[in-house]
Structure 1
Amino acid sequence: MTKTTTFIAFVILLMSCSSEPTKVTTPVTNQDKLYFPPMNSTTWETKTVASLGWKTAAVQPLLDYLELKNTKSFIILVDGKIVLESYFNGHTANSLWYWASAGKTLTTTVTGIAQDEGLININNKVSDYLGTGWTSAPLAKENLITCKNLLCMDSGLNETLGSDVSPANLQYVADAGSRWAYHNVYVKLQDVIARTSGQTWSNYFNTKLRDRIGMTGGSWINSDGLSVYWSTTRNMARFGLLALNKGKWDETRIVSETFMNQAANTSQNTNLSYGYMWWLNGKTSYKLPQVSLTFPGSLIPSAPADMYSALGKNDQKIYIVPSKKMVVIRMGEVANPDNPTFGLSDFDAVLWQKISALF
């Protein structure tokens, strides 16, 4: 971590003034509906490992592994209630940490909200909203790129030129839709939404998503030319709970269920394990960032097949498991410092072996 990023983390931490979150253990029923923690409250109801019929002896090995692997925070929700919540290495429930590329799914969700409101249509070309010349591709090729291509990572632009998304750095490689490659050009969706809403990206995000599900205190911070989201671990868990409930927060519809279903399913035919910036488990093949190869098999074989994930640099994780009504959050430093990755790592496979040992 750079000194600049460390300083930013320290400053954001000082800005956070919420009190220590509290837990309230409630009786368990066999037909629990999803629980949603109150807005503007530190209270969050819990379930015990034993009440779920899970193996209590498997808890400590999981926590030991998390601490060994440079974890700062870890949460498991089942039915929306906290089953496990642990903090390590000086991190607390009030500390803020970066989501890295796990935060791409925030942009996905807000894009769905903007479409619900009629501001955009993801099937329209990006130049309809930003004007031509937003890339250095030939005009005919630029006009092939839709907002959906940005969500799917198949814009056809050169992904090897770094995080700079100025026109000169957005260069044509292949026609949109013909090639999957992990690319930061997705941030142009934030520009599209700012332009069509007449608001700043942060303001639209805050009013349409963050504040409506109680993600208090989080914010977008510029780092290395990109806007990265920082929040508490519980705020990340709130977003995971919204995803689990397909875009509905308790009785309030935040984003359409149709869009959320599309986001959590294969979005194109060149990487079956990728939705709208969500990674999909249980498919027959997958691609990885910065690698042109297609790998056979499931993304994380040790995890449930129906799981989908938001994965960020240095092992920031949001795992959603609909079949178990489960959300799992991990924040921290890179788990394997000798082999840092942009998202998926062998840490995922071992972590899910440890989680699966619970049940």
Structure 2
Amino acid sequence: MKLLKRVLLLLLIVIGVAIYFNYPKLNIISGYAAKNMASGVYVAHRSAASINQYDNSAPLIEIASTEVNEQEESASSTVYGLMERTAVYRDGLGTVLVNDDYDPEKLTIRPQRNQPPDTIPYPFGQAAPIDTVLPEVDMDQINKAIAMAFSEPETQKTRTLLILYKGHLIAERYIDGFDKDTPILGWSMTKSVLATYFGILEHQGKLEMDWPAPIPEWKDDERKNITLNHLLRMQSGLAWDEDYTGISDVTRMLFLDSDMTQAQRDKKAIAKPTEIWNYSSGTTNLLSGILRQQFRSHQEYLNFPYSTLIDKIGMYSMIMEADIAGNYVGSSYSWASTRDWARFGQLYLDKGNWNGEQLFDSTWVDYITTPTVNSDGTYGAHFWLNAEGKYPDVPKDLFSCNGFEGQHVFMIPSKDLVVVRTGLAEEPFFDINGVLSNIVKAVP
């Protein structure tokens, strides 16, 4: 009997320790599930059942129970009845996880959008793409690449694939439940979009990349030497933990913070600028806060991404989500259809020129594709690179926007190609090199 009591006591201690160390994680799990559900339903217009079955079935997230409140346009999640989190939808600003700081009456302004109809064929306008046969394109090879991308649905989990060649739509494919109009969460592809606003401001003569970051808290310590360039290249030397497996800087920011521009701002320097390369979602949201500082009013800040880029190139499906404080979550939260993500890639392939208008300098593309020191040739300025041949069978001039779970916009200038792939799995489950190499073989 004494032995049994000791075993039971030991078991209770083990359970107690497990709960003590894992209970805070439930906050992140239920927060992720609620945010994903609310955005999936109210931004992407998908069914709650589909999101529960696929998007929220990831390890750990699957233990959350999530319900939608259609009347309040919200979603709430718990883990075994604990740690309830709620995300609410706000027109024009997407969804946000609420906390004690959330006041639905406080943030009433939204981005002003301009979406005029036109008769220009896709991708440069809103009309249907031209049904053109390009004799130099080996469509059998293209079809082989597409088949490869969708060949193992249970492991690859590809949802959409689209290919532009010389500004022509030559192929696209969607799984059931998705089509050309379905908004897809870009996750960290949003970082490349956020960076583009700095390229636009530079083109307008309003800032330069070697300017010191305008952070008053840094002016009297070693952080005063950090420039916009250092931030865009993730080489500021600031501390940051980009770990999604537990409680970390990035998970606290995305699922707990009201003002996501503050997390990286408060970090100390652990190295001098350029000494280390450290990928940081906090840095991108800090840049979103710096972007906001460039405008006299919050309304101007909210309008700027749409008036100068998103609506300008016809990405009418795109929504950039904001935090409780009204800052765009540039690290992670933008939604757009596969066709609209491809428009963004085409803009970069054309070096910032859209229907004859230069939105950013052509030299900006040279800037963002110049490898950053200590990144092993894989990173430029908020864009990913193939400069050192990470994808050995693909041209080295490839650059891309990459996001969690295998969201990609690939641009290959030497082949005049834009390839968009979205899904729920990434390498090694999705063979980027294999799919892209087959596409590349199809064009001269």
Task: Report the TM-score, using the length of structure 1 for normalisation.
Answer: 0.79
User: In the alignment, what sits opposite 2:160?
Assistant: 73
- Which SS does the other structure have where 2:321 is aligned? strand
Q: Where in structure 2 are the equivalents of 1:316-327 lying within 5 Å?
A: 316-327=407-418
Tell me which of 273, 279, 282 is aligned to 1:182: 279
CA distance 1:167–1:269, shift in 2 (3 Å): closer
Q: Unpaired segments of 5 or more residues in structure 2?
A: 1-31, 46-90, 93-118, 242-247, 254-261
**Are 1:195 and 2:226 counterparts?**
no
Tell me which of 30, 48, 59 is aligned to 2:143: 59
Residue identity matched to 1:210: I
User: In the alignment, what sits opposite 2:402?
Assistant: 311
- Which SS does the other structure have where 1:13 is aligned? coil
Q: What is the CA distance between 1:220 and its match in structure 2?
A: 1.1
Q: What is the CA distance between 1:78 and its match in structure 2?
A: 0.5
Tell me which of 180, 185, 209 is aligned to 2:309: 209
User: In the alignment, what sits opposite 1:172?
Assistant: 269
- Conservation of the 8 A alpha-carbon contact between 2:369 and 2:385: yes
CA distance 1:351–1:169, shift in 2 (3 Å): farther
- Which SS does the other structure have where 1:85 is aligned? strand
Residue identity matched to 1:37: P
CA distance in structure 2 between the partners assigned to 1:91 and 1:43 by the alignment = 18
Moved more, 159-168 or 316-325: 159-168
CA distance in structure 2 between the partners assigned to 1:53 and 1:38 by the alignment = 21
User: In the alignment, what sits opposite 1:119?
Assistant: 206
**Are 1:277 and 2:382 counterparts?**
yes
Moved more, 114-123 or 140-149: 114-123
Residue identity matched to 1:304: P
**Are 1:95 and 2:182 counterparts?**
yes
Moved more, 156-165 or 140-149: 156-165
Tell me which of 195, 216, 235 is aligned to 1:131: 216
CA distance 1:192–1:3, shift in 2 (3 Å): closer
CA distance in structure 2 between the partners assigned to 1:187 and 1:46 by the alignment = 41
Q: What is the CA distance between 1:210 and its match in structure 2?
A: 0.7
User: In the alignment, what sits opposite 1:266?
Assistant: 371
CA distance in structure 2 between the partners assigned to 1:265 and 1:46 by the alignment = 36
CA distance 1:6–1:151, shift in 2 (3 Å): same
**Are 1:330 and 2:418 counterparts?**
no
Displaced runs of 4+ in structure 1, greater than 6 A?
Answer: none
Structure having the higher Rg:
2
Q: Deviations over 1:177-201 (max 9, x none)?
A: 1111101112222211211122444
Q: Deviations over 1:218-253 (max 9, x none)?
A: 111258994511011111011100000011112110
Residue identity matched to 1:116: H
CA distance 1:203–1:310, shift in 2 (3 Å): same
User: In the alignment, what sits opposite 1:143?
Assistant: 224
- Conservation of the 8 A alpha-carbon contact between 1:72 and 1:90: no
CA distance in structure 2 between the partners assigned to 1:261 and 1:7 by the alignment = 38
CA distance 1:46–1:154, shift in 2 (3 Å): farther
Residue identity matched to 1:306: D
- Conservation of the 8 A alpha-carbon contact between 2:145 and 2:436: no
User: In the alignment, what sits opposite 2:257?
Assistant: none
CA distance in structure 2 between the partners assigned to 1:61 and 1:113 by the alignment = 35
Q: What is the CA distance between 1:55 and its match in structure 2?
A: 4.7
Task: Report the TM-score, using the length of structure 2 for normalisation.
Answer: 0.64
**Are 1:108 and 2:206 counterparts?**
no
- Conservation of the 8 A alpha-carbon contact between 1:37 and 1:45: no
In the comparison of the two structures, how many residue pairs are matched?
314
User: In the alignment, what sits opposite 1:29?
Assistant: none
User: In the alignment, what sits opposite 1:7?
Assistant: 38
Q: What is the CA distance between 1:119 and its match in structure 2?
A: 2.5
Q: Unpaired segments of 5 or more residues in structure 1?
A: 17-22, 25-34, 284-297, 340-344
CA distance in structure 1 between the partners assigned to 2:426 and 2:224 by the alignment = 41
CA distance 1:304–1:210, shift in 2 (3 Å): same
CA distance 1:258–1:175, shift in 2 (3 Å): same
Question: RMSD across aligned C-alpha pairs, in angstroms?
Answer: 2.9
CA distance in structure 2 between the partners assigned to 1:122 and 1:257 by the alignment = 15
- Which SS does the other structure have where 2:402 is aligned? strand
- Conservation of the 8 A alpha-carbon contact between 2:123 and 2:169: no
- Conservation of the 8 A alpha-carbon contact between 2:141 and 2:441: no
Q: Deviations over 1:95-126 (max 9, x none)?
A: 11111111211112110111222332221111
- Conservation of the 8 A alpha-carbon contact between 2:410 and 2:418: yes
Q: Deviations over 1:305-331 (max 9, x none)?
A: 211111111100011111111100011
Q: Deviations over 1:125-166 (max 9, x none)?
A: 11xx33225xxxx94221021111111110111221422342
- Which SS does the other structure have where 2:302 is aligned? helix
Residue identity matched to 2:294: T
- Conservation of the 8 A alpha-carbon contact between 2:203 and 2:359: no
CA distance in structure 2 between the partners assigned to 1:349 and 1:108 by the alignment = 26
CA distance 1:148–1:58, shift in 2 (3 Å): closer
CA distance 1:2–1:354, shift in 2 (3 Å): farther
**Are 1:37 and 2:135 counterparts?**
no
